[in-house]
Structure 1
Amino acid sequence: MHLVVVGIFLALSTLCSSLDNGLVRTPPMGWMTWERYRCNINCKIDPENCIGELLIKNIADKMVDSGWRDLGYVYISIDDCWSLKKRDSNGRLQPDPDRFPSGIKALADYIHARGLKIGIYADMGNFTCGGYPGTTLDTIKIDADTFASWEVDMLKFDGCYSNSTEKALGYPKMSAALNATGRPILYSCSWPAYEGGLPPKVNYTLLGEICNMWRNYDDIQDSWASVLDIIEWFADNQDALQPAAGPGRWNDPDMLIVGNFGLSYDQSKSQLAIWAMMAAPLIMSNDLRTISEDAKELLQNRLMIAINQDPLGKQGKRIAKSGSLEVWVRELVDEQYAVAVLNKGTDGLPKRFTTSLALLNITKSTFGYKLFDVFDKEFLRTVKPETAFDMSINPSGVVMLFVRPATGRRHHHL
């Protein structure tokens, strides 16, 4: 079976060439229903929180009115459970008319009128993960054409209820079908998450040619344990994953849960810091209507966003571990860097950590570097590469630094 799948990979990689839609040269930012709202379809009892056009419109309005759109959070994506349990008489997917009475095209118009982009969900398989109609190999073209006719801007293509061979055929085929519509549609592939996330079963060269982003690992849950598990998996496997990412093609460690129920303030900083270090999509799944000011301020931190959106598009790496501490470094444009020191410990006492830029292999500027604390929003000091400096990192917290040469051009985001 493995040889068959490899053969399919090779055949399709020559057949399908490249997605080449010009999209997401920096990681996409936005909002998605799944983690926070799951498959809540009970609109009679819970009309404001069910998967339907009222929720989507309310969130879209908040994204504009509360400043999210202007910071780059522009995709608003409907996950599973939006459709009826059967296709229409022409074989097309159709939204549930009770929950989406205006239809998806009208909802797309509403979202586009607010300067936002709309995303939708489908599944490469007989059924979606929630049990709704899937996209089989023979319905890929009609589904791509349907989404394009609705003026959808993003497709998350999941992988429940299909086997490895069907996925190896279907994911590239959907890429070609989306390209053929002539509409630029961000293509988010869940394929690697269903194949263990790692080579040789996952061909990241091919993925970079056919997908804009891809889920590598398990679904995120609303807990620090889940966030930490994802961080550790990406760090432990970074040598295979990090080279695959770049402008137009991103590893996706899953949604931001900041503003929900499971993370403390420090843990919220930690998720944001490491997602920014990993050049990950910043796709929130929370309730923007009731989000706390603290969570909103973290998610709208301009320097964190600028680091995440750095146009070099180079994913950062964990370069050292010391007890419960991890040190991450990301190279940015103009010889700038981001540094994050994560404290995985929960033993109550903040950890002291002393380092120098030379130890982090940041040495090019003979004039030294300016250090900025990303979350405290303050300039700290100018240091030479060999100068030691220390910091204190709270339990399950992070210290994130932006490092800029003391002379030369300013970062274009600042």
Structure 2
Amino acid sequence: MLSGYLRFLCFCTLIIYVSCYNNGVARTPPMGWLSWERFRCNTDCVNHPKNCISEQLYRDMADRLYEDGWLKHGYEFVNVDDCWSSKNRTTEKELQSDPVRFPSGIAALADYVHEKGLKLGIYGDMGTLTCGGYPGTMGYEKIDARTFAKWGIDMLKLDGCYSNETEQAVGYPLMSKELNATGRRIVYSCSWPAYRGGLPPKVNYTLLGEICNLWRNYGDIDDSLEAVLKIINWWGDNQDALIPAAGPGKWNDPDMLIAGDFSLSFEESKLQFGMWAILAAPLLVSADLRIIDEKIRDKIYFNTEVIRVNQDPLGIQGRRIRTDHMCQLWVRPLVGEQQAIAVFTTEPYGEPTGFTFTLKELGIQNPAAEYVLIDIFDTDNSFNHNSDKSYALTEPITIEVNPNGIRMFRAVPYKFSVSELKVDVLEFDLL
């Protein structure tokens, strides 16, 4: 028999199903920084003062986003993850930050972030405890939503540890209702589907799109190429269920970007970033921005054309078209009858792999169309230098892909003149 609390939540859920509304945020995938993969739950500020979960860490990352050019490229969120709070609520039952590691409080941190034109995200858990053992939100949804709004929070990531299937089915919608009731536009990130296997029928993506702005579908990413490829392949294997769920204001989230940490090479870093753009994924970097390799930052994370693919206003998630041995071909429809094309390989040999495809494979319906290809990772190659070269739908296109690397193209209909094409592709202002 359900407890009194769960009976109450079930009643509230019936109301939520018919009263939730689009909160108007995250019309394109959110971009910013998130602490978890790089810094986890390090609370030892005595021995690790620069790497512990503290207000200084988040101030440092806000400084880097603002001063090093990240914000200019669209990275606007500074997201706090688990282990930020005190082990106890206040006498008014409100959450509070750890008094030693966050002596100024979360509201002051939000003010610091907002003064730089950035936004602050925070972590919570709909269970009785967070995954790190800190106070959860179950039974405190209204109080916590009001507290976050009062502090000036702009995004909430709500995890699902220490909760069961029945509790999640009522807790996640209830928190959506309470966040909307505050009147503050808070991006709501739900981990609900990750706890239910990520797929229908256990996951109701229609409901998720009505109550959440993004959601984790799969397990946590680790600092390895193996983890990146496992996520990409799961997305490809289940794309028929995942693609219809995504769109403006509601995004599948394959987890954080790890380029700039310890494991990925430069080519592998390009692979993850490019594929996250194809997947219309949130771009939340989890690296130490104080020491990140400038080449990875400037050539990958600051690549305006790849970001443009990610932020395309149509919001259509990309699709895997073909798997050929250790190569994969993906395509994502973009505005203006354009297409983003990605070819990556996990071939381990020390020379590039040749790959041939045709535009007809991409599912383009216009049989008379010709397209110009713009290489959006390598702006100096022959595809761009010969920008008046067009390709018919059935014409073979052969490229070479570096080991564990990616090639990405924007296919633009040849109805544009060369001068129009350059303006359209190279002088884009981020949305």
Are 1:164 and 2:165 an aligned pair? yes
> Matched residue of 2:362: which SS?
coil
Per-residue displacement from partner, 1:342-381 (whole Å, max 9, x unpaired)? 1122233321011221232336384621211111124154
Provide the residue aligned with 1:314 in structure 2.
316
CA deviation after TM superposition for structure 1 residue 226, in Å:
0.4
Provide the residue aligned with 1:304 in structure 2.
306
Q: Following the alignment from structure 2 to structure 1, what is the Cα–Cα distance between the partners of residues 270 and 49?
A: 32
Provide the residue aligned with 2:395 in structure 1.
387
Change (3 A) 1:339 1:13: farther
State whether residues 17 and 210 of structure 1, in contact with CA within 8 Å, keep that contact through their aligned partners in structure 2.
Answer: no
Q: How does 1:191-230 map to 2 (within 5 A)?
A: 191-230=192-231
Q: How does 1:351-366 map to 2 (within 5 A)?
A: 351-362=353-364, 364=366, 366=368
CA deviation after TM superposition for structure 1 residue 384, in Å:
2.4
Provide the residue aligned with 1:339 in structure 2.
341
State whether residues 321 and 361 of structure 2, in contact with CA within 8 Å, keep that contact through their aligned partners in structure 1.
Answer: no
Q: Following the alignment from structure 2 to structure 1, what is the Cα–Cα distance between the partners of residues 251 and 51?
A: 30
Query: After TM superposition, what 4+ stretches of structure 1 lie above 4 angstroms from structure 2?
Result: 7-11
Q: How does 1:48-63 map to 2 (within 5 A)?
A: 48-63=50-65
Are 1:250 and 2:258 an aligned pair? no
Change (3 A) 1:67 1:385: same
Provide the residue aligned with 1:151 in structure 2.
152
Provide the residue aligned with 2:92 in structure 1.
90
Per-residue displacement from partner, 1:294-332 (whole Å, max 9, x unpaired)? 210201100000000000000011011111111000000
Q: How does 1:247-326 map to 2 (within 5 A)?
A: 247-297=248-298, 298-326=300-328
What letter is aligned with 1:200? P
CA deviation after TM superposition for structure 1 residue 278, in Å:
0.5
Q: How does 1:118-157 map to 2 (within 5 A)?
A: 118-136=120-138, 138-157=139-158
Structure 2: 5+ residue runs without aligned partners?
none
Q: Following the alignment from structure 2 to structure 1, what is the Cα–Cα distance between the partners of residues 24 and 240?
A: 26
> Matched residue of 2:78: which SS?
strand
Per-residue displacement from partner, 1:123-159 (whole Å, max 9, x unpaired)? 01111001111111x2011000000000100000000
Structure 1: 5+ residue runs without aligned partners?
none
Structure 2-normalised TM-score? Answer: 0.91
State whether residues 84 and 94 of structure 1, in contact with CA within 8 Å, keep that contact through their aligned partners in structure 2.
Answer: yes
Q: Following the alignment from structure 1 to structure 2, what is the Cα–Cα distance between the partners of residues 306 and 250?
A: 16
Q: Following the alignment from structure 1 to structure 2, what is the Cα–Cα distance between the partners of residues 394 and 13?
A: 53
Per-residue displacement from partner, 1:268-313 (whole Å, max 9, x unpaired)? 1110111000100000000111111221020110000000000000
Q: Tell me the number of residue pairs that the alignment of Structure 1 and Structure 2 aligns.
A: 410
Q: Following the alignment from structure 1 to structure 2, what is the Cα–Cα distance between the partners of residues 18 and 236?
A: 31
State whether residues 155 and 185 of structure 1, in contact with CA within 8 Å, keep that contact through their aligned partners in structure 2.
Answer: yes
Provide the residue aligned with 1:236 in structure 2.
237
Provide the residue aligned with 1:375 in structure 2.
377
Per-residue displacement from partner, 1:205-247 (whole Å, max 9, x unpaired)? 0000000000000100000000011111111011001100000
> Matched residue of 1:178: which SS?
helix
State whether residues 16 and 172 of structure 1, in contact with CA within 8 Å, keep that contact through their aligned partners in structure 2.
Answer: no
State whether residues 365 and 405 of structure 1, in contact with CA within 8 Å, keep that contact through their aligned partners in structure 2.
Answer: no
Per-residue displacement from partner, 1:43-95 (whole Å, max 9, x unpaired)? 12211111111111111011011110011100110000000111111111100
> Matched residue of 1:173: which SS?
helix
Provide the residue aligned with 2:40 in structure 1.
38
CA deviation after TM superposition for structure 1 residue 185, in Å:
0.3
What letter is aligned with 1:235? G
> Matched residue of 1:391: which SS?
strand
> Matched residue of 1:338: which SS?
strand
What letter is aligned with 1:311? P
* RMSD (Å), alpha carbons: 2.0
Provide the residue aligned with 1:413 in structure 2.
428
Is the deviation greater in 313-322 or in 375-384?
375-384
Provide the residue aligned with 2:188 in structure 1.
187
> Matched residue of 1:359: which SS?
helix
